[in-house]
Amino acid sequence: MKNFKQVLVLIALSYLFFMLGNSIMNLTNPDEVFYTQTAKEMIQQKSWMTPYLFGEPQFEKPIMTYWLLRVGFIIFGVTNFGARFFPALFAIIGVLAVYWLALSAYKDNKKAFMPALVLMSSGLYVGLGRTVFTDMIFSVFILLSLASFYWGYINPAKKNPGIILFYIFSALAVLTKGPLGFIIPLIIVLLFLGIKRELKFIFCWSSLWGLLLFSLIALPWYVFMIDRYKDGFTREFFYNDHIRRVVEAEHKGNDKWYFYPLSAIFCMFPWSIFVSVSLFFLPKWLKEKKTQPVYLFLFCWIAVVFVLFQSAHSKLVSYIFPMFPALAILAGDLIYNAVNSKKRQAFVLSFVSWCIFALLPIGVIICSNIYSEYVPTKSLVYNFLYIYIILLMIMLLFILKRRILANLCVMAIMVPLCLFYAFAVNKHYDAYVSSKEAGEYLMKNHKVENAIICSKILARGMRFYTDKDVAVFDLGGARFFSPHPIPSLDSYPKIDDFLKKQPVAYGVLNKSGLADLRQYVSARKLKLTVLKVIGNESVVFIQPGS
């Protein structure tokens, strides 16, 4: 009964953290509209098997996310909430899966609750739970596969269903983001069992049944795509989106040795201090607690994910997201043990965290002055700071009175409360992250018959919000990492050829794109009219000069 009550509490909190208010902000550029537009075009093409983008098949990601998006659209319509429903739902499932894994490991429902709370309230987890990406869905499938394995490992009577579920969830991960959905959990399990000298655990009849189910779930879609699109699919999906990312950096500024270590710590905010300390003590725990295999399992989990992605040149924070549940379990373990011991560790860690939180208002004030264009009114900043400072005072009071659990509860609500406040009180931010307002203005006030010229980052959003053809205007810029079947206007001759076919054109450009376009029309003696400025997007009209 206690477990049931805790599960209900986790579900209720998760709803507040991940689903409440998901319709407030419009779908953002460039990635949310990428996935949503793909699912939308699949509906238009009446396709359940082939993803489409800009009217052509696209092979950048497998099918699972698009299936879920389509189901979300069937239930809720093509809306912000409908698009974000399944990422949020999977975030909730991930919280429950961490609780299940921790409960299997510690046999203590109170101790299992803490890692679930840590994961639920971590910055990146909240962010990905509220946005349309593959990463939350992919990482939760990996989490479920590993939790199933450990459940079967720690409970001999559950070995067979645990191993079979391991393969089933791995198959679903493969359908979400590719072969890594099996490679990551398989290496983790083999490394763990190898160190334990128990490899025979996985070599059993259950694994044969699991592999059969894995093949039946994961392979048919890939066989279909290879059979229909042959080298076009294999070259784009397997080489460009997997092998090429290992040897070539898509985001060159991230290709630093320290990118992932720092990202893992900072993206676990507000639990960064606890995560750092738990990682520091992990080697000690491995030696002291050999009878509790969960520490070795978590070590293998973190090490495998880190090593696999650290070696690749293309780096994004979301790539290492599959190890965040393991970090949450370690941090939750540290917090629970510290709170329930008589040592001062919990007090010291809480106070150090509070000191770091106390620096945030200074950063907010500095950033609001540097990036004042993104701040509609100073009162918005001050109101946020008032709320934040009140929370700080409450936390300090709890810490000084040694009410550490109460302080941790306040910490847990900080990230979702700040995000919800920021986006609920003002729609001003939409104009800077979404192309909806620009697209609606253009379609309502002007007769757009030809392709819309867009800055690269805005192209997918304009397609989604206008259903019009687009052309990317990016003088001297790099093309999309994965090819898009749209004109790329990256030189004067290409723009000349484009405008010969449609001498009158509308465009939606960011600041740098507008500056480049002004130079071009001046050199070609064309007429450029800025129709409206919305956020950092300028809606323009290009026509022959007088």
pLDDT one digit per residue (tens) for the chain, 546 residues: 567 889 999 999 999 999 988 888 899 999 999 999 999 999 999 999 999 999 999 999 999 999 999 999 999 999 999 999 999 999 999 999 999 999 999 999 999 999 999 999 999 999 999 999 999 999 999 999 999 999 999 999 999 999 999 999 999 999 999 999 999 999 999 999 999 999 999 999 999 999 999 999 999 999 999 999 999 999 998 888 888 888 887 778 888 888 999 999 999 999 999 999 999 999 998 888 767 899 999 999 999 999 999 988 888 899 999 999 999 999 999 999 888 876 688 888 889 988 988 888 888 788 777 777 767 667 777 777 888 888 889 999 999 988 888 888 888 888 787 777 777 666 777 888 899 999 999 999 999 988 999 999 999 999 999 999 999 998 877 777 788 889 999 899 999 999 999 888 999 999 999 999 999 999 988 999 999 999 889 999 999 876
Give the Cα separation of 81 and 84 in Å (integer). 5
Contacts of residue 60, Cβ cutoff 8 Å, sequence gap at least 6:
51, 236, 237, 241, 482
- Residue 424: per-residue pLDDT: 67
Helix (H) / strand (E) containing 529: strand 526-534
Closest CA to 539 of 472, 447, 441, 457: 441
- Residue 223: per-residue pLDDT: 96
Give the Cα separation of 51 and 242 in Å (integer). 18
- Residue 388: per-residue pLDDT: 85
Contacts of residue 231, Cβ cutoff 8 Å, sequence gap at least 6:
none
Angle 345-347-353 from CA coordinates, rounded to 5°: 100
- Residue 439: per-residue pLDDT: 94
- Give the residue carrying structure tokens 């999977």: 90
Helix (H) / strand (E) containing 473: strand 470-473
Work out the angle between the directed axes of helices 294-310 and 324-339 (0-180°, nearest 10): 140
- Residue 276: per-residue pLDDT: 95
Closest CA to 438 of 412, 407, 459, 419: 459
Give the Cα separation of 22 and 297 in Å (integer). 35
- Residue 371: per-residue pLDDT: 75
- Residue 1: per-residue pLDDT: 56
Closest CA to 94 of 325, 413, 323: 325
18, 455 Cβ separation under 8 angstroms: no
**Alpha-carbon 402 to chain mean position:** 36
